[in-house]
């Protein structure tokens, strides 16, 4: 049962992050260095590739590559990136495989001057747009929908970049939070549904910065931070921001609820909603439903209130485990120690180490679980690859019982808006009942938070995309789409 462990390069069984983007306009500052540290604060959103483009009002330079931010940008590289304007990107592949040709930003020369673009999200109509470009004679070098967007902007008419962006947005369908660099400007763009986050702030020395998360802006000392609203184009400037409502915002909006459950750093705040507090409330709601048998679960009611310890799967489940402990009265303690770096190395392990699977990434604190009935809190089960091995680690450490509680409903449908969850066949909840999953992973019981409980924790009943739980997508999608769908035409 427990030999279905993940590949060494797959950090865990959570949904994989989309991407992180940042844009900076800071006259008389080292914008490349500022962008580097902003990307460093967004590293959790993607560990496959990183890139940066910088402009000085006349010319544009770019550097990108496969690897972590600290691996791609060395001191010698940074010395060559000079200017007043910059955009950056850290990538986990959504449309397009994890290869250097798909690293972002994309930069091209146009009749309007140099242009670079970095993208967080996924266009659901990218195949149609790509075919349209190729029929017009446009050559494409990658399998990424970001290149499609860049080429569309390059071909658009209009007197200003705002006009060209606005025209392209009328054809783009799906999730996109963009940073766009010209030789003398930075633009932030967000889709009218608001799928992916994007926020903007005032730099203390003048100018502005925009990023996927407020944590990156706070790293740069930004003040007066606000969200880029759905459908907006915002031009960064040294004074007041120039804001264009390019498309009407869709009501209700459809922000990815997984930003609160897993993706975002806990210090992130969107529209007044703090991520850490939401995660703690997820645990509180989960405890109430677990005790009262109200959610999606196969739970042995004899465990209600009499388990010995609550432990999180680090790191995003820590606030939820604290909340669960507070409501249930079951003591909280650490059960796992996570090696945060082993899953991000580019050195392949030996076969014998590979078979160790999650044991390379997690160690158990034996004395905290030995001879105890454990409730293990996690934020999701996607493919079912790692929950079983984690349970086995706890049993090997002497746990008498292992009950699993998940802070969201079962993930039964894939995401087409920029989150890698796989296809229907890869999702364990699409083809199994909760009882089947419990048996598959080897837990004594398994319990999921209900959809209503999840939204109570978030604090809103609408305004979020819940398609991975319900199968009800905010926009029409092709369920056969995969992120490497363009690869065949490039071989």
Confidence of residue 95 (pLDDT cuts 50, 70, 90): very low
At residue 23, the 3 state secondary structure works out as strand
Q: What is d(CA 140, CA 134) in angstroms, rounded to the nearest whole number?
A: 8
316-333 average pLDDT score: 96
What DSSP letter does each residue of 314-331 carry, written as one string?
TTTTHHHHHHHHHHH-PP
Structure tokens at 31: 């914008």
Residues in Cβ contact with 240 at an 8 Å cutoff, skipping those fewer than 6 apart: none
Q: Is the confidence at residue 79, as pLDDT, over 60? A: yes
pLDDT tens digits for 10-59?
445 666 556 999 999 998 899 999 999 999 999 999 888 999 999 999 99
pLDDT tens for each residue of 238-269: 778 999 999 999 999 999 999 999 888 898 88
Q: Which helix (H) or strand (E) holds 296?
A: strand 296-298
Quick one: pLDDT at residue 193?
97
Q: For residues 347 and 110, which has the higher predicted lDDT (pLDDT)?
A: 110
pLDDT of residue 486: 39
What pLDDT sits at residue 431? 83
Q: CA-CA distances (angstroms) from residue 145 to 45, 77, 179, 483, 489?
A: 18, 27, 15, 10, 14
**Higher pLDDT pick, 137 / 71:** 71
Write the secondary structure of 158-225 as one string of H (helix), E (strand) and C (coil).
Answer: CCCHHHHHHHHHCCCCEEEEEEEEECCEEEEEECCCCCCCCEEEECCCCCEEEECCHHHHHHCCCEEE
The residue ranges of DSSP E strands in 27-162, in sequence order, are: 49-55, 60-66, 85-91, 106-110, 113-123
- Return the pLDDT at 485: 45
pLDDT of residue 476: 92
Q: Which two tokens stand for residue 41?
A: 């604060």
Domains located in the chain, CATH noted: 19-254 (3.60.20.10), 276-458 (3.40.50.2020)
So what's the pLDDT on residue 421? Answer: 77
pLDDT confidence band for 342 (50 / 70 / 90): low
pLDDT band at 365 (very low <50, low <70, confident <90, very high): very high
Percentage above 90 pLDDT, the chain = 69
**pLDDT, average across residues 357-386:** 92
pLDDT at 96: 46
pLDDT value for 483: 47
**Of 152-156, 362-366, 486-490, which range is least confident?**
486-490
Q: 317 pLDDT band (50/70/90 cuts)?
A: very high
Tell me the sheet residues that pair with 458. Answer: none
Work out the number of other CB atoms within 10 angstroms of the CB of residue 306. Answer: 10
pLDDT at 13: 67
Computed over every residue of the chain, the mean pLDDT equals 88
120-173: per-residue pLDDT in tens?
999 999 999 999 999 988 888 777 888 999 999 998 889 999 999 999 999 999
More confident of the two residues 364 and 93: 364
Q: What angle do CA 4, 8, 13 make, to 5 degrees?
A: 60
**Token pair of 483, please?**
């992120």
**3-class secondary structure for 75-104?**
HHHHCCCCCCEEEEEEECCCCCCCCHHHCC
Percentage of the chain beyond pLDDT 70 is 88
User: Residue 2 pLDDT > 90, yes or no?
Assistant: no
Alpha carbons 52 and 290: distance in angstroms, whole number:
46
Q: Is 256 a catalytic residue?
A: no
Mean pLDDT check: name the lowest of 53-67, 128-142, 220-234.
Answer: 128-142
| Stretch among 4-8, 352-356, 468-472 having the lowest mean pLDDT | 4-8
């Amino acid at each position: 049962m427990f030999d279905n462990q993940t590949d060494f390069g797959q950090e865990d069984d959570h949904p994989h992050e989309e991407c992180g983007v940042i844009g900076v306009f800071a006259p008389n500052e080292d914008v490349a260095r500022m962008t580097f540290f902003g990307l460093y604060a967004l590293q959790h959103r993607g560990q496959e590739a990183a890139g940066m483009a910088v402009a000085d009002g006349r010319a544009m330079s770019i550097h990108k590559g496969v690897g972590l931010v600290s691996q791609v940008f060395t001191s010698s590289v940074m010395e060559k990136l000079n200017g007043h304007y910059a955009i950056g990107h850290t990538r986990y592949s959504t449309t397009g495989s994890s290869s250097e040709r798909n690293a972002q930003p994309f930069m091209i020369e146009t009749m309007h001057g140099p242009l670079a673009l970095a993208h967080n999200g996924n266009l659901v109509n990218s195949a149609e747009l790509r075919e349209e470009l190729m029929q017009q004679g446009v050559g494409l070098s990658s399998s990424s929908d970001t290149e499609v967007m860049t080429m569309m902007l390059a071909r658009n008419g209009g007197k200003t970049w705002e006009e060209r962006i606005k025209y392209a947005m009328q054809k783009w369908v799906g999730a996109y939070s963009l940073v766009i660099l010209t030789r003398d400007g930075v633009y932030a763009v967000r889709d009218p549904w608001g799928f992916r986050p994007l926020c903007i702030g005032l730099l203390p020395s003048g100018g502005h910065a925009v990023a996927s998360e407020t944590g990156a802006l706070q790293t740069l000392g930004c003040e007066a931070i606000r969200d880029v609203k759905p459908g907006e184009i915002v031009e960064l400037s040294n004074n007041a921001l120039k804001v264009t409502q390019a498309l009407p915002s869709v009501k209700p909006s459809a922000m990815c609820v997984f930003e609160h459950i897993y993706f975002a750093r806990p210090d992130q705040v969107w529209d007044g909603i703090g991520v850490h507090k939401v995660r703690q409330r997820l645990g509180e709601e989960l405890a109430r439903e677990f005790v009262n048998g109200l959610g999606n679960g196969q739970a042995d009611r004899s465990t209600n209130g009499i388990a010995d310890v609550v432990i999180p799967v680090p790191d995003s489940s820590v606030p939820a485990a604290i909340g669960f402990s507070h409501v249930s009265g079951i003591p909280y303690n650490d059960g796992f120690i996570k090696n945060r770096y082993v899953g991000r190395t580019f050195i392949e392990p030996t076969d014998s180490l590979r078979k160790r699977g999650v044991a390379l990434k997690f160690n158990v604190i034996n004395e905290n679980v030995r001879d105890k009935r454990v409730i293990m809190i996690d934020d999701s089960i996607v493919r079912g690859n790692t929950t079983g091995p984690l349970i086995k680690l706890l049993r090997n450490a002497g746990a008498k019982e292992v009950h699993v509680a998940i802070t969201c409903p079962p993930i039964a449908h894939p995401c087409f808006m920029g989150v890698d969850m796989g296809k229907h066949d890869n999702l364990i909840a699409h083809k199994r009942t909760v009882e089947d999953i419990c048996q598959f992973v080897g837990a004594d019981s398994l319990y999921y938070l209900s959809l209503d409980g999840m939204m109570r924790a978030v604090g809103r009943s609408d305004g979020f995309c819940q398609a991975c739980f319900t199968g009800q997508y905010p926009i029409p999608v092709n369920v056969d789409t995969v992120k490497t769908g363009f690869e065949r035409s490039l071989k």
